């Protein structure tokens, strides 16, 4: 996501499926380890990563408390300038032809800003039934529209963060949707439910979804890949 380049792959089984592909694609060095050595390496890497994660969380907590922070205190639309953005120079339907894994749309500091804002937005979620807060940020021509999941005693009446963000943007008159950022604090992976995938496909088929996961890593998808062979409203015959 941030242009990081893997350098070495540690493996235990030389017949591991796909190993040769990754080695060739990224010009990786390889190191085969015994089962015991491999386990020790995994534990060491996990410990190192956990320390970095805790340091990042501490840094974020300090930033929120700082008087200089721009912390999100409401779900009002956020100006593009807050993230160092202006109007997107690439139309959503052209993203697939102009971006790839080595040419990110956003800079690393912008992704860090999106991460911190998503964490702030999640605090506004109304999820007393599930205790599963989710936040979303929808990037449009009018700015960034936050959304959270809103639940009621009758679960069938609740709405997900992606749909509240989309409804807010549509009600403000937004017409172009460049991408949506999603984070579920307690979810190992942050991806939209089926209903949200249908709604996003109807309104922003060629846009991108940026998922911030529990461990603060990102995944990036095209919306049209989330719901293969979908049925769209414009497929209906209208007389």
Residue 63 scores a pLDDT above 50: no
Q: Do 158 and 46 have their domain in common?
A: no
pLDDT band at residue 4 under the 50/70/90 scheme = low
Provide the domain count of the chain: 2
Q: Do 53 and 129 have their domain in common?
A: no
| Nearest residue to 140 (alpha-carbon basis) of 227, 192, 203, 218 | 203
Residue 166 scores a pLDDT above 90: yes
Q: Do 121 and 87 have their domain in common?
A: yes
Whether 208 maps to a domain, the answer reads: yes
Whether 1 maps to a domain, the answer reads: no
Whether 73 maps to a domain, the answer reads: no
Mean pLDDT over the full length of the chain: 82
For position 149, what pLDDT does the model report?
95
Q: Which domain holds residue 190?
A: 80-235
Bridge-based pairing of strands 134-140 and 143-148 is antiparallel
DSSP state letter for 108: H
Whether 92 maps to a domain, the answer reads: yes
Q: Do 224 and 142 have their domain in common?
A: yes
Residue 196 scores a pLDDT above 50: yes
Q: Which residues pair with 211 in a beta bridge?
A: 182, 219
- Residues marked active site are found at 162
Q: Do 31 and 127 have their domain in common?
A: no
Q: Do 59 and 145 have their domain in common?
A: no
pTM of the model: 0.66
| CB atoms near residue 160 (< 10 Å) | 22
Whether 106 maps to a domain, the answer reads: yes
For the segment 184-193, what is each residue's pLDDT rounded down to a tens digit?
Answer: 999 888 999 9
Alpha helix ranges (H) inside the chain: 19-26, 35-65, 95-98, 108-122, 161-171, 194-203
For position 150, what pLDDT does the model report?
94
Segment 192-199 shows an average pLDDT of 94
For position 114, what pLDDT does the model report?
92
Q: Do 102 and 40 have their domain in common?
A: no
Q: Do 48 and 84 have their domain in common?
A: no
Whether 55 maps to a domain, the answer reads: yes
Portion of the chain with pLDDT greater than 70, in percent: 79
CB-facing half-sphere around the CA of 222: CA atoms within 13 A: 15
For the segment 172-188, what is each residue's pLDDT rounded down to a tens digit?
Answer: 999 999 999 999 999 88
DSSP state letter for 93: G
C-alpha span between 109 and 66 (Å, rounded): 18
Q: Do 84 and 61 have their domain in common?
A: no
Whether 71 maps to a domain, the answer reads: no
Q: Do 199 and 106 have their domain in common?
A: yes
Q: Do 152 and 46 have their domain in common?
A: no
Whether 70 maps to a domain, the answer reads: no
Q: Do 23 and 128 have their domain in common?
A: no
Q: Tell me the CATH number at 102.
A: 3.40.140.10
């Amino acid at each position: 996501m941030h242009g990081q380049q893997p350098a070495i792959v540690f493996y235990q089984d030389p017949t591991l499926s796909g190993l040769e592909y990754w080695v060739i694609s990224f010009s990786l060095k390889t190191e085969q380890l015994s089962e015991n050595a491999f386990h020790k390496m995994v534990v060491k890497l996990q410990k190192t990563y956990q320390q970095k994660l805790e340091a990042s969380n501490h840094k974020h907590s300090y930033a929120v408390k700082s008087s200089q922070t721009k912390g999100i205190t409401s779900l009002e639309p956020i100006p593009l300038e807050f993230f160092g953005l202006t109007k997107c120079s690439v139309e959503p339907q052209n993203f697939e032809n102009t971006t790839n894994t080595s040419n990110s749309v956003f800079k690393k500091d912008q992704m860090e800003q999106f991460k911190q804002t998503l964490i702030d937005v999640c605090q506004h979620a109304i999820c007393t039934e599930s205790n599963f807060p989710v936040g979303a940020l929808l990037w449009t021509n009018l700015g960034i529209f936050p959304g959270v999941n809103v639940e009621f005693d009758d679960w069938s009446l609740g709405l997900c963060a992606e749909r509240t963000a989309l409804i807010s943007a549509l009600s403000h008159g937004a017409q172009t949707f460049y991408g949506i950022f999603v984070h579920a604090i307690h979810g190992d992976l942050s991806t939209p439910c089926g209903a949200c995938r249908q709604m996003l496909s109807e309104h922003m088929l060629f846009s991108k979804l940026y998922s911030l996961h529990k461990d603060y890593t990102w995944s990036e998808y095209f919306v049209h890949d989330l719901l293969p062979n979908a049925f769209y409203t414009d497929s209906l015959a209208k007389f």
